[in-house]
Amino acid sequence: MNKIRNIIFDIGNVLIRFDPTEWLVNHYGQDPELMKLLYNEVFSSEEWKLLDHGKMSEVEAASRIITRIPEYQKEVERIIYHWENFLISEMPVSLYFLRKFKEMGYNLYALSNYPERGFENTIRYYPFFDLFDGKIVSYEHQEMKPQRKIYEILLEKYQLDPKECVFIDDTLANIHTALEFGMEGVHFFHNNHMMDLYLMLEENLQHMKDSDASLL
């Protein structure tokens, strides 16, 4: 294993829980057709992707979606303009380990696909973002994972050696790109993966201490 000095985190469903399907079931499960409609026309829409990409304003996104489903204007506007108020929550186990990694001396970075207003409000609501040594967010650069360019931006801006980085993300395609750069990768979909990473990083620290001691 390479000597790891930097941990790069995805945000959604790694540190912040984001589950539109659960919210749709809880609020519209009694009307499956509406539930499916909002999922397809809002959360799975091209407009939603363009918001993440920083290539469309919320006003334009809402307008385009409402043109397709005008009878649900109120629902569309609530989601587009206020989703971070009711769709996200902290993941306490992940945040516990985030703080532990900081205490252990690792550099922490965020690499995330996220729309502008939602991200600005998220970092306002959740102070753990202060733990990061740097962050790259899709809307700022109009580049998205899993495309290589946004990884290159992160590595260049913070002068990171990919062989000294471990990247954790809930989407396998994003992990594959990180591996192409020579990073270690953790495909996160269970709290045990954070524990596994913690144990690996403890071992990594010991190896680096042993290596430094051998040079004396």
> Domain containing 146 — which CATH number?
3.40.50.1000
Q: How many percent of the chain have pLDDT more than 70?
A: 96
Separation between Cα atoms, residue 184 and residue 90, nearest integer Å: 25
Asked if 47 and 130 sit in the same domain, the reply is no
Asked if 193 and 123 sit in the same domain, the reply is yes
- State which residues form the domain around 166: 6-17+90-214
Asked if 207 and 182 sit in the same domain, the reply is yes
**More confident position, 211 or 56:** 56
Residue 123's pLDDT is 94
Where a domain ends, among 85, 113, 130? 85
213 pLDDT above the threshold of 90: no
Residue 205's pLDDT is 87
Beta carbons of 10 and 168 less than 8 angstroms apart:
yes
Q: How many CB atoms lie within 10 A of CB 67?
A: 9
pTM score, whole prediction = 0.93
Beta carbons of 118 and 85 less than 8 angstroms apart:
no
Asked if 76 and 131 sit in the same domain, the reply is no
Average the pLDDT over 139-147 and give the result: 97
Asked if 25 and 13 sit in the same domain, the reply is no
Domain count, the chain: 2
Asked if 111 and 168 sit in the same domain, the reply is yes
Q: Are strands 6-9 and 165-169 parallel, antiparallel or unpaired?
A: parallel
Residue 209's pLDDT is 75
Residue 203's region, left for phi above 0, alpha for psi from -120 to 50, else beta, is alpha
Residue 1 resides in a domain: no
Q: Are strands 16-18 and 88-90 parallel, antiparallel or unpaired?
A: antiparallel
Mean pLDDT of the chain: 95
